Amino acid sequence: MSSFDASNFVEDFTEVSDDVPPRPFKIDDDVFYVTSVPPAGALMDLAEMASFDQNNPTHMVRLVGKMSSFLDAVMMPESAVRFAERMRSPIKPIKATQIVKILQWLMKVYSGGKDQSAQSLHSQAGPGATGPNSTDGAQPVASTPGNYR
């Protein structure tokens, strides 16, 4: 009886990934970092968020949960801790309008520059909420952490 070599029948979906550093963004004096290559699950959360109906209360409750899980998935660990602290800070809070702007920016970054989904979140933010200026070509305010993956 011959031995079976499974390696001849295994599809290999391994992709060589570049060692791309995290992308920085700034709120006040804090610089936060998100991954440049988001996990697939985070992108699926992003797509689901863009499809939510802003007039449906159930969708809005789910949107808040999806926003939180999405940001947890794409933020570098040290940034995620600081971001969570700032979201709950009574002294120096991150405001809901800032989170919407960050999500709009990330939608644009992760979709390769397409900003159609960001318009959906913008309309949910209400009047006066605008997207941030592009950071392309901007110098980071702080050094990039050396322990990214």
Query: pLDDT value at position 120?
Result: 40
Query: pLDDT value at position 19?
Result: 79
131 pLDDT above the threshold of 90: no
**39-96 pLDDT per residue, tens:** 999 988 888 888 888 788 888 888 888 888 899 999 999 999 999 999 999 999 999 8
Query: pLDDT value at position 4?
Result: 65
Which of 81, 124, 130, 76 is closest to 102 using CA atoms? 130
Q: How far apart are CA 84 and CA 93, in angstroms?
A: 10
Using 50, 70 and 90 to split pLDDT, how confident is the model at 16?
A: confident
**17-40 pLDDT per residue, tens:** 777 899 999 999 999 999 998 999
Q: Where are the domains of the chain?
A: 40-129
* CA quadruple 55, 108, 72, 42: dihedral, nearest 10: 80
| Contact indicator for 70, 53 with CB cutoff of 8 Å | no
Number of other residues whose CB lies within 10 A of the CB of residue 87 = 15
Report in angstroms the alpha-carbon separations of 32 from 11, 41, 111: 38, 21, 20
Query: pLDDT value at position 149?
Result: 38
Query: pLDDT value at position 127?
Result: 42
What is the pTM assigned to this prediction?
0.63
What is the DSSP secondary structure assignment for residue 100, as one 8-state letter?
H
Q: How far apart are CA 17 and CA 20, in angstroms?
A: 8
**Across-strand partners of 31?**
26
Highest mean predicted confidence (pLDDT) among 62-66, 117-121, 127-131: 62-66
